[in-house]
Amino acid sequence: MSQSDPLREQIIARFDAMSAQLQQAARYVLEHPEEVALVSMRELARLAAVQPATMTRLAKVLGFQGYNEIRAYYAETVRKRNDGFAAKVRQRDVETTSTPESDIAHHMLHGISAQIAALCEPEPLQCLTAMADRLAAAKKVYVLGLRSSHVVAWHFHYVMSLLGERSVHLDGPAGTGGDALIRAKPDEVMLVVSIKPYAVDTLVLAQLAKDKGLAVLSITDSEVSPLAGISEHTIYCATDSYSFFHTLTPALAVSEVLCTLLAELDRPSALKALQDADDHLAHLNTYSNTLPRRV
Amino acid sequence: MSQSDPLREQIIARFDAMSAQLQQAARYVLEHPEEVALVSMRELARLAAVQPATMTRLAKVLGFQGYNEIRAYYAETVRKRNDGFAAKVRQRDVETTSTPESDIAHHMLHGISAQIAALCEPEPLQCLTAMADRLAAAKKVYVLGLRSSHVVAWHFHYVMSLLGERSVHLDGPAGTGGDALIRAKPDEVMLVVSIKPYAVDTLVLAQLAKDKGLAVLSITDSEVSPLAGISEHTIYCATDSYSFFHTLTPALAVSEVLCTLLAELDRPSALKALQDADDHLAHLNTYSNTLPRRV
DNA sequence: AAATTATTAAAACAAATGGATCATTGTTTT
DNA sequence: AAAACAATGATCCATTTGTTTTAATAATTT
């Protein structure tokens, strides 16, 4: 944790040149960095047995404009520690020839990367495998995701359709998307993808599926998502990004993992299905490695 | 991280019984617990887009005497986490109950996370901003991505259509997808997404666009992709994953970054466009926070 | 020892914070 | 349709906050 904390280094460097009171304040800050972020300046002064004004002076000695800058620094440290890569981030920021644009891009990508890494925790991993098992056991899978979540739903359906014929994408023109549910039976399941703001149609169809006795499995963004209550299994993925929009990238990663696990659960037939698809597409000359020659 | 946090559980338990505003506040607290400890109540309210008083009310609803008790609770959590931090890291590797399934998932997620993190290097960042600038300068953007790349193309188009009307998705039934190019003009550009194996139709349309004088911008997987040669700007993203399938998650991340940069380049009108979209969808009752009551 | 400087404590201040009140709005019930 | 209710937003208040100023004290130099 302590390695490569520039402020800490600076405090140590200037420590000997400080007055007695400043040293006492600095010492407390060094030994309890997180308290700086957690309590008020006066409270901190009380804890360090120092006058409030001393903290302000310490800030100035260290080249800050005011005490709040010290606090902001340590608050940031606490935040960074949350997403693992704390040390790396600060290093990078220095070296990057940062335009405002590339800064935004950098922030976003870093954040998304961390959010996906967070899915490697035991808990989400367990949810993933459990959901994959449930999907594998189902006779048919209805896939539902509207608006922005369409991305994820479509991807899942596309890959599943390469693997076999158990997937039905609930999507269609003129509001016909839900029609496939008409003949849904209880030994089938629905995979719903929805993040805030939740599309009404999604919620309606999910509830309908549940009422029909289907198991609802969902990929959503929060324990308090309306989907959480009606789902047999739920996978939560972060959607915050440093931009106007929510990110669906972690959700797409989840979908990819689910597809892989499903294929993995029946490796032989997955291989067979993919081979068939390959052959089919090869016949149609769907793919190529070179630009087409003009004719 | 999240397991065994009694307050968190309690918030989730009472969530459904809360009013809309309380839910919004509670949701933010759930998703950013450390912020509660790090910023003032008013600041937090601002972040959660809620009135300051709502935070006080949330505290009371949860059985606290006042807001400060919530803050104290989360401050304590941050302190606790600090202690257990080093220890946990060491434990992690040991305790993981690794089934073969969860191992695969773990590998995949870790890999994808790293691939996205790799985009934070100066070179890809520069490509991203350059491409965003070029997109911003274009009169119109034709978006093309078939088969698996459809995911990325669709996402880009969807977000762009929220931002304005400069985007045309080259997709349609019965092979009509390319028709929109009929009236394409040289001051327009084409954004192509394609990874190996490259769909022939994609290559044909990209070449056609280039012949018509459009600038081709591409998101692809390699310097030796057929798209690389005909593109004015190219962004390369990894697609390897520990599975049968290639991953499109990094490509989606790229798309999200591009959209954000584009919005950022003309912040005021982006905000306006998003506001208009919001209003429109609100009128149509597109979104909801709760499950629909059966009628 | 006197003069000067640097350090500290105390007091004063404006800005912000958390909390309470009340009018208004939107919903449900009658 | 009216009445009752809960939810929300706006305003106000007493505290607390970070900072500055002033006065007192200690340390240093001459």
Tell me: the pLDDT tens digits for B115-131?
999 999 999 999 999 99
- Are A208 and A246 part of one and the same domain? yes
- Stated in angstroms, how far is A61 CA from D25 C1'? 22
Instruction: Determine whether the interchain pair A253/B112 forms a contact, defined as Cβ–Cβ distance below 8 Å.
Output: yes
Residue nearest to nucleotide C11 (CA to C1'): A53
Residue entry with tokens 């805030």: A196
**Closest residue to B106, CB basis, from A120, A150, A200:** A120
From A81, A106, A133, the end of a domain falls on A81
Q: A293 lies in a domain? A: no
Query: pLDDT > 90: what percent of chain B?
Result: 51
- Are A90 and A188 part of one and the same domain? no
- Are B178 and B240 part of one and the same domain? yes
B99 and chain A in contact, CB less than 8 A: yes
Q: A295 lies in a domain? A: no
Judged by C1' against the alpha carbon of B42, the nearest nucleotide is: C17
- Are B149 and B72 part of one and the same domain? no
Q: A294 lies in a domain? A: no
Residues of B in contact with A243 (CB under 8 A): 256, 259-260, 263-264
- Strand D within 7 Å of which CB atoms in B 29-58? 50-54, 57
B208 and chain A in contact, CB less than 8 A: no
From B40, B60, B93, the end of a domain falls on B93
Judged by C1' against the alpha carbon of A24, the nearest nucleotide is: C8
**Closest residue to A79, CB basis, from B31, B38, B243:** B38
Nearest CA in chain B to A290: B226
Q: B100 lies in a domain? A: no
A37 and chain B in contact, CB less than 8 A: yes
Distance CA B5, CA A284 (A): 56
CATH of the domain at B264: 3.40.50.10490
- Strand D within 7 Å of which CB atoms in B 9-28? 19-22
Q: A57 lies in a domain? A: yes
**Closest residue to B286, CB basis, from A104, A200, A292:** A200
Domain that holds residue B262: 118-283
Residues of A in contact with B117 (CB under 8 A): 85, 109-110, 113
- Are B124 and B244 part of one and the same domain? yes
Q: What is the pLDDT, as a whole number, of residue A84?
A: 46
- Stated in angstroms, how far is A54 CA from D26 C1'? 17
B158 and chain A in contact, CB less than 8 A: yes
Mean pLDDT rounded to a whole number for chain A: 86
Those residues with Cβ within 8 angstroms of residue B216's Cβ, 6 or more apart along the chain or in another chain? B189, B190, B192, B206, B209, B210, B227, B230, B231, B232
- Stated in angstroms, how far is B53 CA from C27 C1'? 21
Distance CA A36, CA A44 (A): 7
- Are B67 and B140 part of one and the same domain? no
Distance from CA of B285 to the nearest CA of A (A): 7
- Are A101 and A186 part of one and the same domain? no
Per-residue confidence in pLDDT tens, chain B, 295 aa? 444 688 988 898 888 888 888 988 998 998 889 899 999 899 899 999 899 999 999 998 888 888 988 998 999 888 887 665 544 444 444 455 668 777 899 999 999 999 999 999 999 999 999 999 999 999 999 999 999 999 999 999 999 999 987 999 998 765 667 778 888 999 999 999 999 889 989 999 999 999 999 999 999 998 888 899 899 999 999 999 988 899 999 999 999 999 999 999 998 898 888 888 877 777 767 777 777 654 4
- Are B151 and B256 part of one and the same domain? yes
How many domains in chain B?
2
Q: What is the pLDDT, as a whole number, of residue A243?
A: 86
- Are B268 and B136 part of one and the same domain? yes
From A58, A81, A104, the end of a domain falls on A81
- Are B178 and B278 part of one and the same domain? yes
The answer to whether B191 and B141 are in contact (CB under 8 A) is: yes
- Are B206 and B269 part of one and the same domain? yes
**Closest residue to A270, CB basis, from B102, B244, B256:** B244
A31 and chain B in contact, CB less than 8 A: no
Preceding omega of A197 cis (within 30 degrees of 0): yes
Q: What is the pLDDT, as a whole number, of residue B222?
A: 86
Q: A211 lies in a domain? A: yes
CATH of the domain at A67: 1.10.10.10
Q: B147 lies in a domain? A: yes
- The phi, psi pair for B182, rounded to 5°, reads -50, -40
Those residues with Cβ within 8 angstroms of residue B102's Cβ, 6 or more apart along the chain or in another chain? A122, A125, A126, A128, A129, B96
Judged by C1' against the alpha carbon of B22, the nearest nucleotide is: D7
Distance CA B226, CA A92 (A): 33
Q: Which residues of chain A have pLDDT under 70?
A: 1-4, 82-98, 173-176, 284, 289-295
- Are A173 and A279 part of one and the same domain? yes
Distance CA A58, CA A67 (A): 8
The answer to whether A210 and A216 are in contact (CB under 8 A) is: yes
Distance from CA of A187 to the nearest CA of B (A): 23
Distance CA A169, CA A154 (A): 7
Q: In what order do the strands lie in the sheet with B233-236?
A: B167-169, B141-144, B189-194, B215-220, B233-236
Residues of B in contact with A286 (CB under 8 A): 147, 197, 199-201
